[in-house]
Chain A
Amino acid sequence: KAGVTQTPRYLIKTRGQQVTLSCSPISGHRSVSWYQQTPGQGLQFLFEYFSETQRNKGNFPGRFSGRQFSNSRSEMNVSTLELGDSALYLCASSLGSAYNEQFFGPGTRLTVL
């Protein structure tokens, strides 16, 4: 069974631009969560989607948004990029129950110049 895939793996953008990251979960998994990882803040929860609905959301500004499609694939979008958005963005999928383990993708490393 294929693991969680994320595209692109690396991305370089400039301030003010927007970016869209993609995540394909493990087949059969209906929950997709997104995390931002930086050296200073560590791993921070962005949002979680389940069956195309946002189930919960972390403490990030509205510039960060996401969606999930009927095939469970998910995208996250960051508009008006800031230097501080440079980070590793990790996507994780799970079967859906809150206490199932989450399986992570390799991440997308975003650099904002």
Chain B
Amino acid sequence: AQKITQTQPGMFVQEKEAVTLDCTYDTSDQSYGLFWYKQPSSGEMIFLIYQGSYDEQNATEGRYSLNFQKARKSANLVISASQLGDSAMYFCAMRDGTGANSKLTFGKGITLSVRP
């Protein structure tokens, strides 16, 4: 099974509206971390938000929030008040395992286009 699944091929949102980008994950570990990154056309990966598996509250960072549903193994990213500059690829990633088995695994990504 894939560790990180992002099934939405492409998303469109109107400027100033909110959008949810879906991410489901698969791990048997109790301790893990979930990340979201943004990759604009320039190619650089930009860290957005982090959620630890033991965190009881959903993470928030400015306009970004993570809707963490542990039982469903989902970690959806919510972007509020979309801006034109939010148009980019968005990657969900998970770090699980310990020691030599610990690494960051990325999903395939979702393209978000913000319409004016």
Contacts and interface: CB of A to CB of B under 8 A. Distances in A.
Contacts of B33: 98-99
A77 B95 CA distance: 25
A101 B47 contact: yes
Contacts of A43: 91, 106, 109
A109 interface: yes
A1 to B, nearest CB: 15
A102 B44 contact: no
Contact of B100 (A42, A55, A107): A55
A44 B103 CA distance: 10
Most chain B CB atoms below 10 A, which of A35, A43, A103, A106:
A43
A35 B103 CA distance: 11
B68 interface: no
Interface string A72-113: 000000000000000010101000001101111111010000
Interface in B79-116: 91, 95, 98-109
B105 A92 contact: no
A64 interface: no
A18 to B, nearest CB: 23
B46 interface: yes
A92 B106 CA distance: 13
Given A101-B47, A102-B47, 6 more contacts: A43-B109, A45-B103, A92-B45, A99-B50, A104-B46, A106-B42
